[in-house]
Amino acid sequence: RFLIKGGLAGAAVYVAYDQGLLGSGTEGAKAFKKAQETLPPAIQEWTNYLGWEVRTAQLPPTPRFEFSVSNSWNKGVHTVMSALSVAPTRACEYTVEGWKYMKDLVK
């Protein structure tokens, strides 16, 4: 089981890398747009292959995401850098609070 799960995980990472999802923000946005354009025809092809009678009007519309990958990436980087910049100060504050708590327990 472990080998199967590991193989599937490796394949998923390879496909994500191959499609540009692990690249820069612009590459991720291009891959996302490509998926939005490819998904509806693929669903129609599979329903035809399986012999299901599905009219296009009966299929729900594919969801549209107004989402900027590059803006989200930049916001995430900014948040991480902000947290790292205040980490030493917070560590000192928490250490002082911890010492005070320990002193109060000993009294």
User: Does residue 24 sit within a domain?
Assistant: yes
**DSSP alpha helix (H) spans, the chain:** 2-18, 25-50, 69-106
Domain around 9: 1-57
Cα gap 81→86, rounded to integer Å: 9
> Do 35 and 29 meet the contact criterion of CB atoms below 8 Å apart?
no
Q: What is the pLDDT of residue 93?
A: 92
**Is residue 31 a part of any domain in this protein?**
yes
In a domain, 45, yes or no: yes
In total, how many domains does the chain have? 1
72 within domain boundaries: no
Q: What is the mean pLDDT of residues 82-90?
A: 89
88 is a domain residue:
no
Q: Return d(Cα 64, Cα 59) in angstroms, integer.
A: 15
Which pLDDT value is given to residue 100?
93
pTM for the full predicted model: 0.32
- Check residue 51 and give left, alpha or beta (phi > 0: left; psi -120 to 50: alpha): left
Residue 37 lies inside a defined structural domain of this protein: yes
Is residue 12 assigned to a domain?
A: yes
